[in-house]
């Protein structure tokens, strides 16, 4: 049984590699459409499920891992910005405020007809960054394709005051949760996950470690 990561995200591929479980990558065909009638955790879970299902038919005997990340503020779900103007609007809305990141993980194996879905939540406090900081960040283009229009693992870290929760979930793949789900399905995760969380080897992880 192979592990298939249903994602085109480079950061999820990088994070999953830390678990040292062999995996292959497949592109999900699911098209995301946010439904504001769902609470954020449910929406993220639904997206992760649909991504996994979109690949499961191609790999019925293998274990499909999918993930999705959404941001919520004022009970409104923020996904990926469609353009720079929307990215600017999102960042203005988040500036100086607290918001929540919801990252869902889905594991599916078609022949078993069993799917595991779990959601990790991270609390984030944004700095009251000035107009120059905002425009400088928008010019990097880094926030395009990212929920909430910023990347905590990149230059977007400068916009953030602090976080509460699993940093890897904020990036897009909660490694402790993923390791638990993989082991539940019988896969060997050969690393010490606690040690991984102590050493914090990913970009900006140490910066947001709890004091």
Catalytically active residues, by annotation = 68
CB 125 within 8 A of CB 162: yes
Which residues, in sequence order, are CB contacts of 10 under 8 Å at separation 6+? none
């Amino acid at each position: 049984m192979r592990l298939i990561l249903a994602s085109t995200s480079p950061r999820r591929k990088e994070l999953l590699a830390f678990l040292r479980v062999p995996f292959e990558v497949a592109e999900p065909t699911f098209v995301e459409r946010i439904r504001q009638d769902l609470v954020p955790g449910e929406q993220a879970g639904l997206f992760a499920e649909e991504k996994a299902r979109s690949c499961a038919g191609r790999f019925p005997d293998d274990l499909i891992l999918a993930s999705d990340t959404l941001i919520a503020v004022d009970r409104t779900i923020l996904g990926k910005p469609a353009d720079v103007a929307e990215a600017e609007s999102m960042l203005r809305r988040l500036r100086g405020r607290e918001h929540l990141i919801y990252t869902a993980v889905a594991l599916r194996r078609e022949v078993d007809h069993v799917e595991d879905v779990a959601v990790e939540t991270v609390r984030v406090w944004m700095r009251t960054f000035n107009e120059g900081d905002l425009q400088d960040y928008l010019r990097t283009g880094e926030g395009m394709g990212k929920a909430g229009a910023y990347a905590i693992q990149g230059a977007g870290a400068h916009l953030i005051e602090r976080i509460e929760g699993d940093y890897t979930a904020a990036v897009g793949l909660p490694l402790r949760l993923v390791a638990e789900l993989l082991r539940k399905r019988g896969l060997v995760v050969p690393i010490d996950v606690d040690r991984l969380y102590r050493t914090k080897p990913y970009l900006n992880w140490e910066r947001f470690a709890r004091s």
